Amino acid sequence: MHVLISGMAGFIGMHLAQALRARGHRITGFDNLSSITYAASLKEDRLKALGFTTIPKYGQRAEADGMSFIKLDLTDVPGLTSWMQAEHFDVVVNLAALAGVRLSTQRPDDYFHSNADGFFNLLEVLRTIKQSQRARLIFASSSSVYGDSNKVPFAEDDDSIVPVSVYAATKRINEILASTYALRFGIDATALRFFTVYGPWGRPDMAPFIFTKAMLAGLPIRLFNEGRLRRDFTYIDDIVEGLVRIVEGQGNTVRSPQHPYAVYNIGNGTPIELFDFVHELEQVAGVKAQLILEPMQPGDVHQTYADVRRLSTDYGFTPHTALHDGISRFYAWYRSYYLHA
């Protein structure tokens, strides 16, 4: 298949591109290489790890073995429209977005423009493509759409969810838009609610990176809500395996004009308290953490906890990587990339 991956220089995008290429698919990706959430140098290094020897200028294209990459922004309506209408894709995987709950509180306009306006542009392009040539759409949502729900585990059919951050609201908007476009315009759309993804090449604004960097530098770690937060940490390989199965249509689910939209949780199904997460890092790194207990942060939630029965039923897959194994692999990559050790 010819698969388009937006946000291909991102954490999940890079790993998905690797996995799909290894399975013989043709990959085209784009990314704006934004530095709003973290330095663009890491995104460029991810592209280099995929085999791209040069980073193209905006609007230009680079080639690697079995892959193409274009530097492009979802909010660039003329560029996105003319380029997508000129090519044929079997599947579009939209991973492009500004990520991060806390920063979205400080920069709501940037998050809405990138995540909501950008996704709307993509839906509009798909709508204008002849239905017989239209790609299936798979897009990243987030566990954050559940807000601070106390109905656990978080289930996809819970219609009482209330997002409590701007980032979460943009993801929920995407889900509502996609379900509407699916029903009105026949776009086959699947939303994937990812739960706290971690692993090699991960985002520097997330806990594994922040905690590891502080511990190795002898600096204290700030644990919000005095460490009484629980997260459903999900290793990157599990996220990618679920994505690959859905991209390739390996499930036993059948879409119809009456049911053109679906949503799935992809999470480990095992919430971990931050104290336990830090303890795993201490064991792997051989360093004792210094802790500072802080109050709850605006827009944060007390726990995330995925119900993955729908994914298991429809696609025969349940994420399974143990936290210790995932942390060990992340730490080995961290030392290799940042410490050259």
Q: How many structural domains is the chain composed of?
A: 1
Lowest mean pLDDT among 35-44, 115-124, 190-199, 256-265: 256-265
User: Of the residues 167, 261, 315, 331, which is catalytic?
Assistant: 167
For residue 263, the enclosing domain spans: 2-195+234-268+305-321
**67 Cβ contact list (under 8 Å, min separation 6):** 17, 21, 26, 27, 28, 29, 50, 51, 52
pLDDT over threshold 80, residue 255: no
87 assigned to some structural domain:
yes
**Among 101, 251, 121, residue whose Cα is nearest residue 169:** 101
Task: List, for residues 121-162, the tens digit of each pLDDT value.
Answer: 999 999 999 888 899 999 999 999 999 888 889 999 998 899
The pLDDT-based confidence of 95 (bands split at 50, 70, 90) is very high
Q: What percent of the chain has pLDDT over 90?
A: 86
**Could you tell me where the beta strands, DSSP code E, fall in the chain?**
2-6, 26-31, 61-64, 67-71, 91-94, 136-142, 189-194, 197-198, 221-223, 230-231, 234-235, 261-266, 272-273, 291-293
Q: Note whether residue 283 is domain-resident.
A: no
Local structure of residue 141 (DSSP, 8 states): E
Q: For this structure, is 338 an active site residue?
A: no
Residue 117 exposed, middle or buried by CB count within 10 Å (0-12, 13-18, 19+):
middle
pLDDT at residue 282 is higher than 70: yes
Spacing of C-alpha 186 from chain mean position = 25
> Is 91 contained in some domain?
yes
Other CB atoms within 10 A of residue 140 CB: 27
What is the rounded average pLDDT for all residues in the chain?
A: 94
Q: Which residues contact 225 (CB under 8 A, 6 or more apart)?
A: 294, 295, 296, 297, 300, 302
Q: Would you say residue 212 has pLDDT above 80? A: yes
pLDDT value at residue 66: 87
Residue written as token pair 């980032």: 167
Beta-ladder partners of 234: 197
pLDDT in tens, 168-207: 999 999 999 999 999 999 999 999 999 999 999 999 999 9
Beta strands in 224-290 (DSSP E): 230-231, 234-235, 261-266, 272-273
Which residues does 292 contact at the CB level (< 8 Å), separation at least 6? 220, 221, 222, 223
194: left (phi over 0), alpha (psi -120 to 50) or beta: beta
Q: Is 226 inside any structural domain?
A: no
Please indicate, yes or no, if residue 208 is contained in any of the structural domains. no
Q: Does any domain span residue 74?
A: yes
CATH number at residue 169: 3.40.50.720
Tell which residue, 125, 282, 266, 103, has the closest CA to residue 196: 266
Rounded CA Rg of the chain: 19
Quote helix, strand, coil % in the chain, to nearest 5. 45, 20, 40
> Given this model, what pLDDT does residue 256 score?
66
Q: 276 lies in a domain?
A: no
First CA to last CA across the chain, in angstroms? 38
Give residue 254's pLDDT: 65
Give pLDDT, residue 9. 98
Is pLDDT at 258 greater than 80 in this prediction?
no
Residue 202 lies in a domain: no
According to the model, what pLDDT value does residue 78 have?
96
